[in-house]
């Protein structure tokens, strides 16, 4: 009946493989020949100083940017370029560094929107919003309520997200991503601008998501402590190049990494 | 204060997701419908029905149409007039070619034609955004206007170049044409508007509405949760134009009883846009408020001098209305940029939390 | 087959066989284009500096012209009237800033856009109320604008250029030049450009946003006045002009909302394009295609270059 | 009519009976996943039975003790009954108890099985597992986060239930056996052990039999004519006798529906949605709601505030009379009607009290003003006096005979006498069976002929004939000059000011009365906002001189009112200070039911007490505090002391004469 000493990383087969991907905007290289993989069921951290190309990496993975060269294999299928919604259909969900919520909609609707791909009832049922259409709505509402319960945001269920404090908005955004029941969840600085307590909550949620739903997670995070606690493996980017790829413990000792972090700051946030 | 919500608990999601979850609201709606369907036909005189209620309802429907596009999906359109026209002319052609099919069927069916046209001109919306799109829709407006004038077939080659509404009956009662009584026409318009409003609210409260709103609020994020932007936008164009088309058809067949192309000129587009903005973007009830204000206000203004029989030339009165309406629009935008619907919500909220301020 | 010929071959044959008509058409298109450009210029000025999509630009043209003529009708000497009109336009700019822009600052674009709709209605009503609704004749001669036409033979026919059109082109060019200088050389001008980029920058130059707004709206007003005079002199001063003014919109999106050169080039493309279209292809469609051709040109163009000819490329980030 | 049906002498029997008698009436609702999930009595029986059988399967036996820890949710209530059906005894523990307290209770009660809400509680138990030799199994409701825990001695609620279901399905005998087991239960059996966080020392386990609770419940239901149509909301701690009786026993006896809120934060909203008809709360709750009201109204428009204040004042004047059905002028009735339309009605509705029939306050004396406010706006608020040892009911106020200063007449079947020492004593069917494993304490409290020492000093009010409680018997003291000094009495007068959350009056054995004040962060906080007083923390706000001024005004008023009462005139407050930290149960300054632990406070703040009486104008104090997560820290502060000018008692008398 004792509490688990530490979470054993259950590393499965490769879910996503990135092979020397390069990306540049009008001459500026955001990424150069980056390769790494994400395995089923792990929590993978992508870290690096500002301008290292972390966010660009995520944007490439979920098809928002098209890399000039390189190969991305997701669930065994190779793809060089794809539209974002295709990524979503493929099972990749995503949260953003500076929130991308639907501000005009309530918490509930935001998360329900995350079910867009799962809801299939045709247009003509939607016109009446009874029978099958309503039945479907109810089913999905139920799933969404489970997520709301999971993220402990029941009290703000019907408040337009625009009016919520930052920390809660982050949670709602996570909720929307979870509603997609993704195989791969990309979190872009999930704890940016949070106070200690909020960070602790968020970490708990991330771990629980990973355990409860077995969701594979790739996250960008600045707070080293958090990275060390959460992640199974860490990729370190600097100037759009991969400078390290190992377990948190090793990365902390890697001198390239240390140099990259102590070295004078450069670049603007990508 | 009026709202006494204690004891109104929801034990099913269906009930919780209802459009009017609060008992008092449901009562309110019932009362309004009762008044609209019973009291007006009995009490309202022909002027009220003809010059106020019928046009008000028709504009409200058009406003709902535009609101679905602009308010819910965030696509600014200046082509409303054109799309309304398509409906009207489509209806004319249909009833001319198949005179024996019930006109009401055609009034509704004509919506499909404007929907098709809407989709066509909506195609660029994937790449074009904001004002650029607005201007693009002007292309639709002017092109359609031109068609209405230049293609005689559309108005059955009538010498006047105008639509002449034929007599059509339903169960022997004249529905369109000169002999149709205002009450009949009013009731038909009302029924169509009520049903279509209900349908619209179904749409916006369901999956489709969420899709549209997510495109409006942040199209990138919308795409990243798997929404196909083009589909969503075209659907919005289609539905929106459908509503405008039906409104246009009703305008000619159930209100004017005959019209020329200039009825669907760009001014009409602007008028409806005013209604949407003043009423409140992204709210159905706002569309009704907007229609009421923008349409009924000028009538009232014109009535004023008459009432106090002030010596004002009708022309001057007309111009004065322009000035006042223009000024009012600005004033409204300054006072409540979110439109009358917002005011309504605030008021309602106040009543709900009464006596507390929040 | 026959139709294809009519569309793709016949028009060019005509151009070749009757170059005089071609030149004539081009000239007409050029003149129309120049006036479009002027109106578009007004839009761009305001959009650049205050981010407002000023729908009222068209009516400002009419209003300015109407005021000028109206004043003269009331016995005011032409040039005094001209001066007074400029004053009126300034008053207008001032009023707009006070009563619309300031209260609506940092509202969403569409709201400001709608506000300019309100302004349009207001000006239509006011103009008619004060000066009457019926069309008027521009006081061209009183302003010493040339009349008549220069005709010269050649090109297998003869081409006639209205002097007023020539004047229009010249004046338009002068105005553009002046504005260009104003923007490039003067302190205020630079401030205006700065505003387009960032408001802080403007403040750093030491000019308040409010002042800048007044200035641009005034500038736009003056441009409107000039346009009004030209256009009025060519046809007449009436509210039908307003619809013509809408032509500036396709010009805008063609040129890009924020680009002055864009406005000019766009204007010329549209002007010439629609005249050619009307003259050579119009008949195929029963004529009158001028009303929409401009928009369709712009639309077709936009699909390939959403940010317009000279607009900056939009890179979307998240 | 159920309540006369005397065959039903245990709760499981009642459950079976209700399932048959009121089959598809709602027995419980729980706002879960956004909507109110409901269970009829029949469904509830099925749930309880399945879980009960499951518990038996995992080894719960007759006579075993098992604990329940968590917030108010159906499954935990069911667990109680499920265990009782097997003849086991539930020992609910406060969900917010720190691991230590929990360890003590579980060990002392020899608990063999725990039914807990979630990971938080599991972790607490794990932390003290080594001190719980008897504990064999932990059943948890929320699996969230427990996936990787070692399950050798842990099992999920669902699993237990499905074990039960399978067993019932597979083995036809099982049902009969289970029912036989229920039938074997007797009214005289021990039904529950409730640990009272006594105001002093370690808590004691009060043993109550089925008869104790069921008879008390029946009497109570009859007294207020409660039947299966009531709706109550269960939000008070499961381990408190109040909740046990109101949300469990009385519900089973009357067959009414118990509603569990979605979360602790949403209780008000949830109560509003349900529209409860019967409510019970300690004064604190009514106090908080009133505070909240004043705070919220403070932000209302001037006009609205005027209207509001006028009508509230009016209600204060006439409301009670109208409520008690006295004769009042027609105009008053009319005006009250208007007030009811515009203020009282909506207000009650906001609090979800529109449909309420009876509301009780108990556990502590309620500020007369608070009491008057609520009754004024039409809430049938009554006082009762009770104790865990009495299965709650000792006295209660009958409809129409309500007074703020008394707690009512003896409840049905209850005898009350005042001992020579002035202590209230009672005897009733509800009298507890003794303290678990603590004969001495039992002997101290329970006399051989069945009388119980309440430990409260009180007397029967000659006017109303109702019982009046002055204070804890041991707390009633005397100043040096022999004046009677009843601290609680003074504290309550202070606490009725929204700005004052807690107050501790000192003076026994000294020559004057002094008071330590806890300000109410909500009320004073919003006052600070309105008067743009900036503050970073409670401590800073408490130290603010302007806050001192405000509190001083309150105390001055209290002194005046004290001066009006011959007995108390001598006990006016001479000096006061505002504490630098909020009194907190985690620091043992309050009991879990938020009662002051005076003794503990006095030695904890001895430096301040000294300063009070050596005349110094400020004092240094450092106190150790326990934070949410259990780790300890020290708060140090310099606390200012203010002098007050007491009113001459005689002058007060003359005022009254004039």
CATH number for position D246? 3.40.50.12780
Which of A100, A126, A138 faces B221 most closely, judged by CB atoms? A100
Overall average pLDDT of the C30-41 stretch: 87
B198 burial class (0-12, 13-18, 19+ CB within 10 angstroms)? Answer: middle
**How many domains does chain D fold into?**
3
Chains C and A touch (3+ CB pairs under 8 A): yes
Between B358 and A211, residue with greater pLDDT = A211
**How many domains does chain A fold into?**
1
Between C109 and B239, residue with greater pLDDT = B239
Gap from A98 CA to chain C (nearest CA, Å): 8
Residue B277 sits in a domain of what CATH number? 1.10.3470
Hey, are the CB atoms on D308 and B11 less than 8 Å from each other?
A: no
The percent of residues above 90 in pLDDT, for chain A, comes to: 46
Overall average pLDDT of the B178-203 stretch: 94
Residues D246 and D101 in one domain: yes
Residue D391 region, left (φ>0) first, then alpha (ψ -120 to 50), else beta? left
For residue A155, the 8-state DSSP code is G
Domain stops at, among D352, D379, D406: D379
Q: Is the predicted pLDDT of residue D642 greater than 70, yes or no? A: yes
- Which pLDDT belongs to residue D634? 85
Q: Is the predicted pLDDT of residue C160 greater than 60, yes or no? A: yes
Within-domain flag for D646: yes
Chain D residue numbers with beta carbons less than 8 Å from the beta carbon of B355 are 297, 300, 304, 307-308, 342-343, 346-347, 350
Residue C61 sits in a domain of what CATH number? 1.10.3470
Overall average pLDDT of the D558-575 stretch: 82
Q: Which residue of A has its CA nearest to C318?
A: A96
Q: Nearest-CA neighbor of B104 among B248, B246, B261, B238?
A: B246
The greatest distance separating any two alpha carbons of chain C, rounded to the nearest whole angstrom, comes to 66
Judged by average pLDDT, the poorest of C50-54, D440-444, D524-528 is: C50-54
Instruction: List all chains that touch chain D, counting a touch as 3 or more CB pairs closer than 8 Å.
Output: A, B
Question: Model confidence at D199, in pLDDT bands (50, 70, 90)?
Answer: low
CA atoms within a 13 Å half-sphere pointing along the CA-CB vector of D533: 18
D334 burial class (0-12, 13-18, 19+ CB within 10 angstroms)? Answer: exposed
Hey, are the CB atoms on B330 and C302 less than 8 Å from each other?
A: no
Chains D and C touch (3+ CB pairs under 8 A): no
Instruction: List all chains that touch chain C, counting a touch as 3 or more CB pairs closer than 8 Å.
Output: A, B
- What pLDDT, in 10s, does the model give residues D306-323? 999 999 999 988 988 888
Q: Name the residue range of residue D355's domain.
A: 283-379
Residue A15 sits in a domain of what CATH number? 3.40.50.300
Tokens representing C204?
A: 């750093």
Within-domain flag for C189: yes
Q: Name the residue range of residue B318's domain.
A: 20-165+172-353
- Which pLDDT belongs to residue B96? 92
- What pLDDT, in 10s, does the model give residues D226-263? 999 999 999 999 999 999 999 999 999 999 999 999 98
**How many domains does chain C fold into?**
1
Q: Name the residue range of residue A3's domain.
A: 1-91+220-270
Q: Is the predicted pLDDT of residue D653 greater than 50, yes or no? A: no
- What pLDDT, in 10s, does the model give residues D610-625? 999 998 888 888 888 8
Q: How far apart are CA D309 and CA D300, in angstroms?
A: 11
- Which pLDDT belongs to residue A3? 52
- Substitution target in D128, D145, D273 with the highest count of A β-carbons within 10 Å is D145
Q: Is the predicted pLDDT of residue A262 greater than 80, yes or no? A: no
- What pLDDT, in 10s, does the model give residues D413-422? 999 999 887 7
Which of A2, A157, A212 faces D147 most closely, judged by CB atoms? A212
Residues D264 and D291 in one domain: no
Judged by average pLDDT, the poorest of B175-184, C89-98, D122-131, D510-519 is: B175-184
Hey, are the CB atoms on C318 and B316 less than 8 Å from each other?
A: no
Q: How far does Cα D440 stand from its chain's mean position?
A: 27
Mean pLDDT of all residues in chain B?
A: 90
B153 burial class (0-12, 13-18, 19+ CB within 10 angstroms)? Answer: exposed
Hey, are the CB atoms on C318 and A64 less than 8 Å from each other?
A: yes
Q: Is the predicted pLDDT of residue C313 greater than 70, yes or no? A: no
Judged by average pLDDT, the poorest of A100-114, A125-139, B24-38, C183-197 is: C183-197
Hey, are the CB atoms on B17 and A142 less than 8 Å from each other?
A: no
**How many domains does chain B fold into?**
1
Instruction: List all chains that touch chain B, counting a touch as 3 or more CB pairs closer than 8 Å.
Output: A, C, D
Highest mean pLDDT among A259-263, B285-289, D144-148: B285-289
- Which pLDDT belongs to residue D312? 92
- Which pLDDT belongs to residue B267? 87
Hey, are the CB atoms on B218 and A100 less than 8 Å from each other?
A: yes
ipTM of the complex: 0.82
Q: Is the predicted pLDDT of residue D655 greater than 80, yes or no? A: no
Which of B8, B11, B354 faces D38 most closely, judged by CB atoms? B11
- Substitution target in C122, C134, C242, C248 with the highest count of B β-carbons within 10 Å is C122
Which of D29, D272, D300 faces B5 most closely, judged by CB atoms? D272
Residue D568, helix vs strand vs coil: coil
Residue D576, helix vs strand vs coil: strand
Hey, are the CB atoms on B202 and A137 less than 8 Å from each other?
A: no
Q: How far does Cα B289 stand from its chain's mean position?
A: 11
Hey, are the CB atoms on D300 and B6 less than 8 Å from each other?
A: no
- What pLDDT, in 10s, does the model give residues B334-343? 888 888 888 8
Mean pLDDT of all residues in chain A?
A: 87
Q: Nearest-CA neighbor of D68 among D49, D53, D59, D55?
A: D55
Judged by average pLDDT, the poorest of A22-36, C177-191, D478-492 is: C177-191
Q: Which residues contact D408 (CB under 8 A, 6 or more apart)?
A: D382, D383, D384, D385, D395, D396, D397, D398, D401, D466, D467
- CA-to-CA separations, B284 to B277, C114, C143, in angstroms, rounded: 12, 19, 54
Q: How far does Cα A53 stand from its chain's mean position?
A: 15
Within-domain flag for B339: yes
Which of D275, D296, D343 faces B357 most closely, judged by CB atoms? D296
Q: Which residue of B has its CA nearest to D293?
A: B356
Residues D576 and D652 in one domain: yes
Q: Nearest-CA neighbor of D350 among A255, B5, B345, A71?
A: B5
- Which pLDDT belongs to residue D287? 86
Hey, are the CB atoms on B337 and C113 less than 8 Å from each other?
A: no
- Which pLDDT belongs to residue D657? 38
Within-domain flag for C79: yes
Q: Is the predicted pLDDT of residue D386 greater than 70, yes or no? A: yes
Q: Is the predicted pLDDT of residue B194 greater than 90, yes or no? A: yes
Highest mean pLDDT among B125-134, C149-158, D396-405, D459-468: D396-405
Gap from B166 CA to chain C (nearest CA, Å): 28
Judged by average pLDDT, the poorest of B228-242, C248-262, D438-452 is: C248-262
Tokens representing C98?
A: 């006070």
Within-domain flag for D635: yes
Hey, are the CB atoms on C318 and A25 less than 8 Å from each other?
A: no
- What pLDDT, in 10s, does the model give residues B77-94? 999 999 999 999 999 999
Tokens representing D301?
A: 């428009």
Gap from C150 CA to chain B (nearest CA, Å): 34
Judged by average pLDDT, the poorest of A136-140, B118-122, C167-171, D183-187 is: C167-171
- For residues D194 and D208, the answer to whether their CB atoms sit within 8 Å is yes
The percent of residues above 70 in pLDDT, for chain D, comes to: 96
Chain A residue numbers with beta carbons less than 8 Å from the beta carbon of C315 are 25
Gap from C300 CA to chain A (nearest CA, Å): 24
Q: Is the predicted pLDDT of residue D28 greater than 60, yes or no? A: yes
Q: Is the predicted pLDDT of residue D79 greater than 90, yes or no? A: yes
Residues D252 and D314 in one domain: no
Chain C residue numbers with beta carbons less than 8 Å from the beta carbon of B221 are 318
Q: What residues are paired with A188 via a beta bridge?
A: A220
- What pLDDT, in 10s, does the model give residues A244-258? 999 988 888 888 888
Q: Which residues contact B219 (CB under 8 A, 6 or more apart)?
A: B229
Judged by average pLDDT, the poorest of A158-162, B175-179, D217-221, D376-380 is: B175-179
Chain C residue numbers with beta carbons less than 8 Å from the beta carbon of A97 are 318
Sheet (strand A43-47) strand order? A92-95, A184-188, A216-220, A43-47, A233-238, A241-246
Pairing of strands D26-32, D257-260: parallel
Residue C302, helix vs strand vs coil: helix
- Which pLDDT belongs to residue C311? 63
Tokens representing D253?
A: 């006896």
- Residue C314's φ and ψ, nearest 5 degrees, are -95, 115
- Which pLDDT belongs to residue C8? 79
Question: Model confidence at C197, in pLDDT bands (50, 70, 90)?
Answer: low
Overall average pLDDT of the C296-313 stretch: 74
Q: Which residue of D has its CA nearest to A143?
A: D33
D628 has a chain A CB within 8 A of its CB: no
- Which pLDDT belongs to residue C201? 59
- CA-to-CA separations, D317 to C309, D313, D332, D373, in angstroms, rounded: 78, 6, 10, 10
Question: Could you tell me the pTM of the whole model?
Answer: 0.85
- Which pLDDT belongs to residue A270? 34
Between C182 and D180, residue with greater pLDDT = D180
Q: Is the predicted pLDDT of residue A171 greater than 50, yes or no? A: yes
Within-domain flag for A249: yes
Within-domain flag for C312: no
Q: How far apart are CA A190 and CA D102, in angstroms?
A: 36
The percent of residues above 70 in pLDDT, for chain B, comes to: 99
Overall average pLDDT of the D630-634 stretch: 78
Total residues belonging to chain C: 318
Within-domain flag for C309: no
- Which pLDDT belongs to residue D5? 54
- Which pLDDT belongs to residue C110? 79
Tokens representing C38?
A: 């002027």
Chains A and D touch (3+ CB pairs under 8 A): yes
Instruction: List all chains that touch chain A, counting a touch as 3 or more CB pairs closer than 8 Å.
Output: B, C, D
- Which pLDDT belongs to residue B161? 81
Q: Nearest-CA neighbor of B275 among B44, B113, B65, B13?
A: B65
Q: Nearest-CA neighbor of B68 among B240, B217, B270?
A: B240
Within-domain flag for C316: no
For residue A2, the 8-state DSSP code is P
Chains B–C, number of C-beta pairs less than 8 Å apart = 140
Q: Which residues contact C34 (CB under 8 A, 6 or more apart)?
A: C168, C169, C172, C173, C267, C268, C271
- Which pLDDT belongs to residue D148? 83
């Amino acid at each position: 009946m004792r509490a688990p000493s530490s979470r054993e990383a259950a590393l499965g087969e490769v879910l996503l493989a990135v092979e020397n991907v390069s990306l540049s905007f009008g001459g500026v290289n955001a990424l150069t020949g980056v390769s790494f993989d994400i395995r089923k069921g792990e929590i993978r951290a992508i870290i690096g100083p500002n301008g290292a190309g972390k966010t660009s990496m995520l944007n490439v993975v979920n098809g928002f940017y098209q890399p000039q060269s390189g190969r991305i294999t997701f669930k065994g299928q190779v793809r060089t370029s794809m539209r974002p919604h295709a990524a979503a259909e493929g099972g990749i969900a995503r949260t953003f560094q500076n929130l991308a919520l639907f501000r005009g909609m309530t918490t509930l609707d935001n998360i329900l929107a995350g079910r867009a791909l799962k809801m299939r009832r045709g247009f003509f049922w939607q016109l009446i919003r009874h029978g099958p259409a309503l039945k479907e709505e109810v089913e999905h509402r139920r799933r969404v309520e489970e997520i709301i319960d999971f993220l402990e945001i029941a009290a703000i269920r019907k408040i337009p997200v625009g009016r919520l404090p930052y920390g809660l908005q982050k949670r709602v955004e996570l909720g929307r991503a979870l509603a997609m029941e993704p195989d791969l969840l990309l979190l872009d600085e999930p704890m940016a601008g949070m106070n200690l307590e909020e960070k602790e909550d968020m970490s708990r949620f991330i771990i629980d998501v990973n355990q409860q739903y077995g969701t594979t997670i790739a996250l960008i995070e600045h707070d080293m402590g958090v990275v060390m606690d959460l992640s199974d493996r860490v990729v370190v980017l600097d100037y759009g190049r991969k400078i390290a790829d190992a377990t948190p413990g090793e990365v902390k000792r890697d001198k390239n990494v240390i140099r990259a972090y102590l070295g004078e700051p450069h670049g603007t946030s990508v | 204060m009026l709202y006494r919500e204690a004891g109104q608990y929801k034990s099913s999601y269906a009930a919780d997701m209802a459009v009017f979850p609060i008992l008092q609201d449901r009562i309110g709606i019932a009362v309004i419908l009762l008044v609209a369907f019973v009291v007006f036909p009995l009490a309202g005189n022909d002027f009220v029905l003809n010059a106020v209620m019928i046009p008000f309802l028709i504009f409200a429907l058009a406003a709902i149409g535009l609101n679905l596009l602009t308010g819910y999906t965030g696509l600014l359109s200046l082509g409303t007039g054109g799309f309304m026209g398509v409906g009207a002319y489509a209806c004319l052609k249909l009833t001319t070619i198949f005179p024996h099919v019930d006109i009401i069927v055609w009034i509704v069916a004509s919506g499909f034609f404007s929907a098709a046209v809407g989709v066509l001109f909506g195609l660029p919306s994937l790449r074009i955004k904001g004002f650029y799109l607005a201007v693009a829709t002007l292309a639709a407006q002017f092109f359609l206007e031109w068609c209405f004038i230049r293609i005689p077939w559309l108005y059955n080659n009538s010498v006047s170049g105008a639509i002449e509404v034929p007599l059509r009956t339903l169960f022997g009662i004249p529905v369109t044409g000169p002999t149709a009584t205002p009450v009949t026409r009013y009731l038909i318009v009302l029924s169509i508007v009520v049903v279509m409003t209900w349908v619209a609210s179904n749409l916006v409260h369901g999956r489709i509405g969420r899709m549209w709103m997510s495109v409006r609020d942040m199209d990138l994020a919308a795409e990243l949760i798997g929404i196909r932007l083009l589909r969503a936008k075209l659907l919005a164009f289609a539905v929106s134009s459908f509503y405008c088309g039906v409104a246009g058809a009703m305008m000619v067949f159930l209100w004017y009883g005959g019209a020329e192309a200039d009825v669907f000129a760009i001014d009409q587009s602007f008028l409806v846009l005013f209604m949407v903005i003043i009423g409140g973007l992204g709210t159905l009830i706002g569309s009704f408020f907007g229609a009421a204000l923008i349409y009924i206000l000028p009538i009232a203004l014109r009535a004023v001098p008459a009432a106090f029989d002030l010596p004002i030339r009708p022309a001057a009165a007309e111009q004065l209305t322009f000035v006042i309406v223009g000024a009012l629009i600005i004033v409204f935008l300054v006072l409540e940029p979110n439109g009358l619907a917002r005011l309504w919500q605030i008021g309602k909220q106040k009543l709900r939390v009464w006596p507390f301020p929040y | 087959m026959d139709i294809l010929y009519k569309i793709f071959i016949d028009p060019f044959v005509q151009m070749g066989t009757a170059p005089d008509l071609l030149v004539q058409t081009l000239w007409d298109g050029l003149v129309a284009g120049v006036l479009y450009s002027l109106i578009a210029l007004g839009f761009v000025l305001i959009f650049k500096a205050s981010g407002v999509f000023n729908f009222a630009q068209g009516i400002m043209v009419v209003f300015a012209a109407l005021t000028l003529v109206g004043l003269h009708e009331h016995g005011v000497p032409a040039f005094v009237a001209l001066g007074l009109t400029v004053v009126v336009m300034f008053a207008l700019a001032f009023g707009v800033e006070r009563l619309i822009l300031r209260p609506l600052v940092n509202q969403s674009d569409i709201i400001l856009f709608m506000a300019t709709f309100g302004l349009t209605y207001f000006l239509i009503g006011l103009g008619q109320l004060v000066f009457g609704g019926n069309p008027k004749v521009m006081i061209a001669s009183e302003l010493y604008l040339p009349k008549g036409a220069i005709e010269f033979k050649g090109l297998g026919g003869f081409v006639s250029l209205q002097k007023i059109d020539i004047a229009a082109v010249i004046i338009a060019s002068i105005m553009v030049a002046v504005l260009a200088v104003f923007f490039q050389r003067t302190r205020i001008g630079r401030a205006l450009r700065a505003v387009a980029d960032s408001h802080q920058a403007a403040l750093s130059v030491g000019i308040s946003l409010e002042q800048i707004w007044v200035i641009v709206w005034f500038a736009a007003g003056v441009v409107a006045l000039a346009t009004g005079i030209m256009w009025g002199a060519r046809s007449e001063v009436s509210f039908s002009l307003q619809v013509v003014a809408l032509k500036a919109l396709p010009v805008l999106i063609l040129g890009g909302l924020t680009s002055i050169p864009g406005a000019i080039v766009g204007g010329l493309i549209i002007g010439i394009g629609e005249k050619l279209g009307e003259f050579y292809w119009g008949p195929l469609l029963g004529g009158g295609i001028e009303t929409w051709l401009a928009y369709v040109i712009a639309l077709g163009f936009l699909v390939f270059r959403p940010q317009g000819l000279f607009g900056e490329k939009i890179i979307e980030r998240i | 009519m159920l309540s006369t049906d005397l065959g039903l002498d245990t709760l499981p029997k009642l459950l079976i009976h209700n399932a048959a008698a009121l089959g598809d009436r709602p027995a419980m609702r729980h706002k879960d996943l956004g909507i109110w999930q409901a269970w009829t009595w029949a469904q509830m029986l099925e749930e309880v039975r399945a879980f009960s059988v499951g518990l038996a399967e995992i080894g719960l036996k007759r006579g075993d003790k098992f604990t329940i820890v968590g917030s108010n949710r159906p499954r935990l209530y069911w667990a109680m009954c499920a265990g009782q059906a097997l003849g086991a005894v539930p020992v609910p523990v406060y969900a917010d108890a720190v691991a230590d307290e929990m360890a003590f209770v579980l060990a002392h009660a020899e608990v063999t099985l725990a039914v807990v809400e979630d990971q938080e509680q599991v972790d607490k138990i794990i932390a003290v597992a080594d001190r719980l030799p008897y504990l064999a199994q932990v059943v948890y409701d929320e699996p969230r986060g427990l996936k990787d825990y070692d399950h050798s001695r842990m099992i999920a609620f669902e699993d237990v239930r499905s074990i039960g279901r399978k067993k019932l399905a597979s083995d036809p005998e099982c049902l009969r056996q289970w029912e036989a087991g229920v039938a074997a239960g007797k009214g005289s059996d021990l039904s529950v052990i409730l640990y009272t966080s006594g105001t002093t020392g370690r808590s004691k386990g009060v043993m109550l039999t089925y008869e104790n609770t069921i008879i008390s419940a029946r009497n109570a239901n009859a007294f207020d004519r409660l039947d299966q149509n009531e709706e109550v909301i269960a939000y008070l701690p499961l381990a408190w006798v109040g909740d046990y009786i109101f949300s469990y026993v009385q519900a089973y006896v009357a067959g009414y529906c118990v509603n569990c809120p979605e979360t602790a934060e949403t209780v008000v909203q949830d109560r509003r949605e349900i529209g409860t008809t019967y409510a019970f709360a300690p004064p604190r709750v009514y106090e908080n709601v009133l505070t909240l009201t004043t705070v919220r109204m403070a932000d209302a428009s001037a006009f609205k505030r005027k209207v509001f204040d006028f009508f509230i004042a009016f209600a204060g004047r006439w409301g009670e009379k109208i409520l008690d059905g006295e004769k009042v002028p027609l105009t008053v009735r009319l005006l009250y009607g208007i007030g009811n339309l515009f203020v009282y009605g909506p207000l009650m509705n906001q609090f979800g009290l529109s449909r309420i029939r009876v509301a009780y306050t108990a556990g502590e004396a309620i500020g007369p003003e608070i009491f008057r406010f609520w009754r004024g706006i039409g809430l049938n608020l009554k006082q009762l006096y009770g104790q865990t040892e009495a299965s709650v009911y000792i006295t209660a106020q009958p409809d129409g005979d309500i007074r703020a200063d008394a707690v009512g007449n003896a409840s049905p079947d209850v005898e009350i006498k005042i001992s020579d020492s002035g202590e209230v004593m009672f005897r009733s069917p509800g009298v507890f069976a003794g303290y678990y494993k603590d004969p001495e304490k039992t002997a101290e409290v329970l006399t051989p002929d069945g009388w119980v020492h309440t430990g409260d000093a009180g007397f029967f009010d000659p006017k109303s004939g109702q019982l009046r409680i002055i204070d804890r018997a041991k707390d009633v003291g005397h100043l040096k000059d022999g004046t009677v000094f009843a601290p609680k009495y003074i504290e309550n007068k202070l606490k009725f000011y929204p700005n004052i959350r807690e107050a501790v009056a000192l003076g026994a054995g000294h020559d004057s009365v002094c008071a330590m004040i806890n300000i109410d962060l909500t009320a004073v906080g919003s006052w600070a906002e309105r008067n743009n007083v900036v503050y970073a923390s409670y401590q800073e706000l408490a130290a603010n001189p302007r806050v001192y001024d405000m509190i001083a005004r309150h105390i001055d008023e209290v002194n005046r009112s004290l001066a009006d009462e011959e007995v108390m005139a001598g006990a006016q407050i001479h000096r006061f200070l505002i504490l630098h930290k909020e009194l907190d149960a985690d620091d043992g300054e309050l009991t879990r039911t938020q009662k002051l632990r005076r003794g503990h406070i006095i030695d904890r703040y001895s430096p301040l007490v000294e300063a009070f009486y050596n005349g110094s104008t400020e004092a240094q104090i450092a106190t150790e505090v326990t934070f949410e997560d259990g780790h300890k820290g020290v708060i140090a502060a310099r606390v200012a002391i203010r002098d007050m000018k007491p009113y001459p008692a005689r002058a007060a008398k003359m005022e009254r004469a004039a």
